Amino acid sequence: MKILLAEDTKDMNRVITAALENMGYDVCSCFDGGEALEHALADSFDALVLDIMMPKKDGIEVLKEIRSRNIVTPVLLLTAKTEIEDRVIGLDAGADDYLSKPFAMKELLARVRAMTRRKQEYNTGIIDFGDLSLNGETFELKCENSIRLSVKEFELLQALILNSSRPLSARFILDNIWDNADDATESVVELYIQYLRDKLAAIASLVSIMEADDGYRLVKGNRS
Amino acid sequence: MGSIYGQKYTELEDTMRSIVDEIGSIREIALSRSGFDPIEHISYRIKTEESMLDKIKRKGLPLTTESALEAIHDAVGIRVVCAFINDIYAVRDHLLSLKNCEVIEEKDYIRHAKENGYRSYHMIVKVNGSIYVEIQLRTISQDTWAALEHHIHYKKDKTDMDKLISAELKRCADELASTDLSMQTIRDMIEKNRNEQEQAG
The kind and range of the H/E element at B127 are strand B121-127
Which residues in chain B touch residue A191, judged by CB atoms under 8 angstroms apart?
185-186, 189
Contact A110, A19 (CB under 8 A): no
Instruction: Tell whether the model's pLDDT for residue B114 goes beyond 70.
Output: yes
**What is the C-alpha separation between B9 and A43, in angstroms, rounded?**
70
* Strand order through the sheet with A75-79: A26-30, A2-6, A47-51, A75-79, A97-100
Q: With contact defined as beta carbons under 8 Å apart, do A184 and A126 qualify?
A: no
Judged against a pLDDT cut of 90, whether residue B166 lies above it is answered with no
Is this complex scored with an ipTM above 0.85? no
Tell me what the mean pLDDT of segment B163-186 comes to. Answer: 91
Q: Which one of B111, B174, B181 has the shortest CB-CB distance to A140?
A: B174
Residue in B closest to A205 by C-alpha? B111
Ranges of chain A with pLDDT below 70: 81-82, 118-124, 223-224
Q: A197 to chain B nearest CA, in Å?
A: 9
Q: Tell me which of B178, B180, B184, B193 to substitute to probe the interface with A (most A C-beta atoms closer than 10 Å).
A: B178
Domain boundaries, given as residue ranges, for chain B: 9-140, 146-200
**Alpha-carbon gap, residue B14 to A218, rounded angstroms:** 53
* Chain A neighbors of B175, CB-CB under 8 A: 148
Picking from A144, A147, A204, the nearest residue to B177 by CB comes out as A147
Contact A199 B181 (CB under 8 A): yes
Residues A144 and A79: beta-carbon distance below 8 Å: no
- Residues of B with a Cβ under 8 Å from any A Cβ are 85, 111-113, 170-171, 174-175, 177-178, 181-182, 184-186, 188-189
Biggest CA-to-CA distance, chain A: 70
Band (pLDDT 50/70/90 cuts) for residue B156 is low
* A49 backbone dihedrals φ, ψ, rounded to 5°: -115, 110
| pLDDT at residue B1 greater than cutoff 70 | no
Question: In what helix (H) or strand (E) does residue B135 lie, and over which residues does it extend?
Answer: strand B131-139
Whether the CB of A195 is below 8 Å from some CB of chain B: the reply is yes
Q: Report which of residues B155 and B1 the model is more confident about.
A: B155
Enumerate the domain spans of chain A.
2-122, 126-219
CA distance B175 to A98: 43
For residue B154, the model assigns a pLDDT of: 65
Q: Is the pLDDT of residue B107 over 90?
A: yes
Q: How many CA atoms lie within 13 A of B19 on its CB side?
A: 34
pLDDT of residue B201: 76
Q: Can you give the pLDDT at residue A184?
A: 82
- Terminal-to-terminal C-alpha distance of chain B: 70
Peptide bond preceding A55 in cis form (omega within 30 of 0): no
Quote the CA–CA distance of B97 and B99 in Å, as a whole number: 6
- Correct CATH for A126-219 of 1.10.10.10, 3.90.550.10, 3.30.360.10, 3.40.190.80: 1.10.10.10
Q: Helix-strand-coil percent breakdown of chain B, rounded to 5?
A: 55, 20, 25
A146 and B181 within 8 Å at the Cβ level: the answer is: no
Nearest chain B residue to A142 by CA distance is B174
- Percentage of residues of chain B with pLDDT beyond 70: 98
Query: Which residues between 131 and 150 in chain A have a beta carbon less than 8 angstroms from any beta carbon of chain B?
Result: 138, 140, 144-150
CATH node for A2-122 = 3.40.50.2300
Whether the model clears a pTM of 0.80, i.e. scores above it, the answer is no
DSSP state, residue B74: -
- B88-104 pLDDT, tens digit each: 999 999 999 999 999 99
CB contact under 8 A, A145 and B184: no
**CATH code assigned to B9-140:** 3.30.460.10
Closest-CA residue in chain B for A147? B174
> Could you say which residues from 172 to 191 on chain A have a Cβ atom under 8 Å away from some Cβ of chain B?
191
SS3 string, chain A, reads CEEEEECCCHHHHHHHHHHHHHCCCEEEEECCHHHHHHHHHHCCCCEEEEECCCCCCCHHHHHHHHHHCCCCCCEEEEECCCCHHHHHHHHHCCCCEEEECCCCHHHHHHHHHHHHHHHHHHCCCEEEECCEEEECCCCEEECCCEEECCHHHHHHHHHHHHCCCCCECHHHHHHHHCCCCCCCCHHHHHHHHHHHHHHHHHCCCCCEEEEECCEEEEECCCCC
Using one digit for the tens of pLDDT, what is the confidence trace for A42-72?
888 989 999 998 989 999 999 999 988 888 8
pLDDT for the residue B170: 92
Residue A77 corresponds to which amino acid?
A: L
A-B Cβ pairs (cutoff 8 Å, strict):
43
- Per-residue pLDDT, B131: 96
CA atoms of A121 and B96, how far apart (whole Å): 50
Q: A76, A49 in Cβ contact below 8 A? A: yes
Closest by Cα among A180, A165, A179 to A215: A165
Q: What is the pLDDT of residue A83?
A: 74
